[in-house]
Structure 1
């Protein structure tokens, strides 16, 4: 991924090309090893990406197709991928659990499947193998020679003929890649019907505002205040928005809408500077007690009504200071986090701008199980903004130098400040976040509607708990 594993020459896309798509009219997940990246070897991020895709499959009961061509674990980093709970072995555990849940898994052995990587296709429901290129074995010919002295070539050891006609490990022998892919399509096309959750959907209406107008509402650096409703109108169905508590807690915009016909509840940060009825000025993008209270209530109502939730993030965090602390901002924020964390309806998150600190948490960041979380190219994700963080880090570093008896001039301080901020700003970009799977994808703002519709259709295949409970809720 982006800016990762420099010491090993990088690992583009984690060595895996994957996504959610349609095969023969059925929504599926496809996971394909990229053998041009370190022979398809598994880096730590490769395992993380595969586990995320299996998680999406499990939550939404989507068939998953594996196109396998992998040399197994990347040995120089084996300690970071082999033994822990969320490491390589978890993938095979998930294979078994997916199968037990009745979620179809089809694997095509199109290249080498070595060592632990040999289990993934064989723990799938059905396995295809391509003649001459596909092979599968726990140990390759060189290791067999070293271990037991047996001379054998890879094709005889674990090729298509061996596993289709002798061992019975694979189910279909394919003459080439093209036949293999056609057979996969045929198998998927013959899958039986699946029950759905029956989420409310009506005829789709185009947005009132053209999706590309989003570029005009949200400026690239995000400095210009804007009305969140104006942004929502670029991806929700025309005239479908019914705002909830429109005059209260206005730094968060809540309401019901339709996206491509699907009924959704929207929780979105409003970036306007607001003067409330009490005469208090409230900064846009900041969560106050009243907005947290409103959003928590709305999330609970959507769960009662079984309506999927869409969170739109452009948040700098919760309001600070004595007035907020005395007003109970911590308990009001906790109420929102509780209501959102315990949601039984599917949640989706779009990061359009800032996603800082506890604001990320309250607005359904990655830690809170969104079915999909996507980011616009304008997104920034961090504990706090770059300028503020750089000043804090500068104070720490200058203090450490002074304790050692070193003097720091103003020019040196400025140089250090710029270095710290440049590094910090690089780490807040959506590319940095996506490479580490903090978000599932970076999307063109004009694709927001299409992406959310695909996600809701996906979630409609899943299952949902019968009862919504928040436990001990702060009041």
Structure 2
């Protein structure tokens, strides 16, 4: 492989302007994350009075100090749970990510009970189910720190209730797949929150704090007239001595978390025996920090995506695949931490040659078992009479078919534009990549707002001409403004991430670190053979 020769000058004004724009977007993203942290911290006094740790404190004590942790879906619910963006608290009232607990790589989810007592939201449900899906696909133990008031009855939606059953379905599948499900109950866990420990393999409850019941005292009285205290109905001691729901009793939050770490250490979860890389890892020659200024922020401005790849891969070395054929579609081999990885990206729209090239490359990666990283930056499949005559539809279909039936792991990263069917061909969310992340500048839409507005303008004029009616210019101008505003409001990475259309936003400068962690997770999953069973472990 040959080290890539960059054409970007980090000292140029253009680079400085792009870097400044990217840093501002990163700051906006972190400000939204901080909004959730601040909202949770407002409950600090209430937590302190009962001797409890705040959710972020629980997470910090659970994770191995100094080990990498990859947060997931930190903007979940932004613009979804509350349409007022100025006050919307993102995160779905869940903290989640991939991290290490007692040396074991796990999927970790912590109810952010500092916000609305941990009541389940639509975004929170979707986030939790996505985390369960990731754990199942990548053979990760599932550790859940629970404290939930159940569903928010003031924001009840029947579809949320029905879809929410997937959380429990997934827990049963995880257990049956031989993946340990460990739940710590820190406080009141009502209704749906009670099924979390009920479907877990190991349950730890905090004495005097944890309570689990399908119906709390108010609902119980409303439904049956029976009167019972929280403790008698579902307290820790009752579940530890009578119902058998709890395996372990903790004296406080810190003790419960220590027990969780001890359980994971005690079951001796097998470390995957991953073969060492064929080549020694080498850092990139080009500085990954430059990615903040490399990526253009204007969608119409071209960029050679090899400039991005060269700042992600070992030694900035790259083996270009068919560089002179379908040149707007970039395919090639590289290494990260010594391990082989393939990249597919875009330097423009996907044309017939680019589609067939990508389809062939996907097949070759399946032959060699090489994971593929898709760096999305495309305006879509090329349109026009010439491309239609060249068979764009059938050649694009080859790419879609190859992608849809590929057996190697896919990682998708939205780096810039993701428009039209290009989102599909480049392994968008609907094509089930193992992981999907976005840079804060990314934009996704079926087409640009201007193109959509112009298309509808042309259609309206044609209709007026056929009917013999005069064109209402004022109405068309108003329609155009509405369409552009509609498309623009939904195109940003903040909006798509808020609607769980990716697994989260990442800082471009940390992309190599993220890819390294994800690829290591994939290798461990391929090498691990859990003791799968026909059914989940039943509780007795």
1:203 paired residue among 259, 275, 280? 280
SS in 1 for 2:525: coil
Give the number of aligned pairs.
447
The gaps in structure 2 that reach 5 residues or longer are 1-76, 528-540
CA distance in 1, matches of 2:241, 2:477: 71
1:238 paired residue among 292, 315, 320? 315
- Structure 1 residues 236, 145: CA separation in 2 closer, same or farther (over 3 Å shift)? same
Are the equivalent residues in 1 in contact too, given 2:296–2:303 (CA < 8 A)?
no
SS in 1 for 2:161: coil
Are the equivalent residues in 2 in contact too, given 1:390–1:424 (CA < 8 A)?
no
Alignment partner, residue 81 of structure 1: 160
Q: Do structure 1's residue 108 and structure 2's residue 187 form an aligned pair?
A: no
Q: Do structure 1's residue 300 and structure 2's residue 378 form an aligned pair?
A: no
Cα deviation code 1:172-203 (max 9, x no counterpart): 11111111112212222333214456585643
Q: How far 1:446 sits from its partner (Å)? A: 0.5
Alignment partner, residue 242 of structure 2: 166
Cα deviation code 1:284-326 (max 9, x no counterpart): x200111111111111001110111111100111111121111
1:371 paired residue among 431, 434, 439? 434
Alignment partner, residue 262 of structure 1: 339
Give the structure-2-normalised TM-score. 0.78
Are the equivalent residues in 1 in contact too, given 2:99–2:107 (CA < 8 A)?
yes
Question: Which range is displaced more, 216-225 or 309-318?
Answer: 216-225
Q: How far 1:406 sits from its partner (Å)? A: 10
CA distance in 2, matches of 1:142, 1:163: 20
Q: Do structure 1's residue 356 and structure 2's residue 435 form an aligned pair?
A: no
Q: What are the equivalent positions in structure 2 for 1:380-395 lying under 5 Å apart? A: 380-394=443-457
Q: Do structure 1's residue 439 and structure 2's residue 502 form an aligned pair?
A: yes
Give the structure-1-normalised TM-score. 0.88
Cα deviation code 1:228-259 (max 9, x no counterpart): 11111111111431111122111111111012
Q: What are the equivalent positions in structure 2 for 1:121-140 lying under 5 Å apart? A: 121-140=197-216
Are the equivalent residues in 2 in contact too, given 1:73–1:81 (CA < 8 A)?
no
Alignment partner, residue 195 of structure 2: 119
Q: What are the equivalent positions in structure 2 for 1:19-34 lying under 5 Å apart? A: 19-34=97-112
RMSD over aligned CA atoms reads: 2.4
Q: What are the equivalent positions in structure 2 for 1:28-107 lying under 5 Å apart? A: 28-75=106-153, 76-83=155-162, 87-107=163-183
- Structure 1 residues 131, 397: CA separation in 2 closer, same or farther (over 3 Å shift)? farther
SS in 1 for 2:157: helix
SS in 1 for 2:92: helix
Alignment partner, residue 328 of structure 2: 251
CA distance in 1, matches of 2:116, 2:123: 13
Q: How far 1:39 sits from its partner (Å)? A: 2.3
Question: Which range is displaced more, 116-125 or 387-396?
Answer: 387-396
CA distance in 1, matches of 2:276, 2:389: 41
Alignment partner, residue 275 of structure 1: none
SS in 2 for 1:460: helix
CA distance in 1, matches of 2:471, 2:79: 31
SS in 2 for 1:142: helix
Q: How far 1:53 sits from its partner (Å)? A: 0.6
CA distance in 2, matches of 1:265, 1:288: 20
Q: How far 1:336 sits from its partner (Å)? A: 0.7
CA distance in 2, matches of 1:74, 1:405: 54
Cα deviation code 1:71-119 (max 9, x no counterpart): 2223343311222xxx111111111111111011110111211113211
Are the equivalent residues in 1 in contact too, given 2:197–2:245 (CA < 8 A)?
no
CA distance in 1, matches of 2:303, 2:296: 9
Question: Which range is displaced more, 32-41 or 3-12?
Answer: 3-12
- Structure 1 residues 433, 7: CA separation in 2 closer, same or farther (over 3 Å shift)? closer
- Structure 1 residues 210, 56: CA separation in 2 closer, same or farther (over 3 Å shift)? same
Higher relative contact order (CA 8 A, sep 6+): 2
CA distance in 2, matches of 1:350, 1:314: 9
- Structure 1 residues 407, 42: CA separation in 2 closer, same or farther (over 3 Å shift)? farther
- Structure 1 residues 344, 128: CA separation in 2 closer, same or farther (over 3 Å shift)? same
The gaps in structure 1 that reach 5 residues or longer are 271-284, 465-475
Q: What are the equivalent positions in structure 2 for 1:333-348 lying under 5 Å apart? A: 333-348=396-411
Are the equivalent residues in 2 in contact too, given 1:110–1:130 (CA < 8 A)?
yes
Alignment partner, residue 281 of structure 1: none
Alignment partner, residue 448 of structure 1: 511
SS in 2 for 1:417: helix
CA distance in 1, matches of 2:424, 2:122: 25
Are the equivalent residues in 1 in contact too, given 2:453–2:479 (CA < 8 A)?
no
- Structure 1 residues 400, 117: CA separation in 2 closer, same or farther (over 3 Å shift)? farther
Q: How far 1:412 sits from its partner (Å)? A: 5.0
